[in-house]
Amino acid sequence: MILRPSLGLGDAVYMFPVVKYYMARGEDVHIVTRYPSIFKFLNCKTIDPETFDATQPFIDCNCSARTKQRKTNIYEDTLLLSGINGHLPLTFEYSGKPYSFNTSKKVCVIRNLTVPTGGVVK
């Protein structure tokens, strides 16, 4: 399965529990992302957006199409577009040495981190 979300750092964090969910179900997951280091702890396959072949089958998890019609938040949209109907906690887990992402934008350095929030799709 190939998941193609929006390409921002926040979108990658939103996709972390989705990828973890599908991998726990035994799926062979590929994620299109500019931030492969987010997913290295899950050992999933990452695809650079610049080399991604959009003619192959993929699940379009890009939330921008839902922004004007939604009664849900971005994370809930991510779940729906990823094919997950129901509750999946938004968690991003990382432990180890501090790590900074390779990006031209200013972002934080991640230390031991778990970010739990809600995520109920209605």
Q: Is 61 left (phi over 0), alpha (psi -120 to 50) or beta?
A: alpha
Q: What is the pLDDT of residues 68-110, one digit of tens each?
A: 666 777 788 888 888 888 778 877 665 555 455 555 555 555 5
Domain of residue 90 covers: 2-114
Residue 88 located in a structural domain: yes
Residue 79 located in a structural domain: yes
Chain Cα centroid distance, residue 29 = 11
Residue 89 located in a structural domain: yes
Q: What is the pLDDT of residues 10-62, one digit of tens each?
A: 888 888 888 989 999 999 999 999 888 888 888 889 999 999 988 888 888 77
Residue 120 located in a structural domain: no
Residue 122 located in a structural domain: no
Name the domain count of the chain. 1
Residue 121 located in a structural domain: no
Count of residues making up the chain: 122
pTM > 0.85: no
Residue 119 located in a structural domain: no
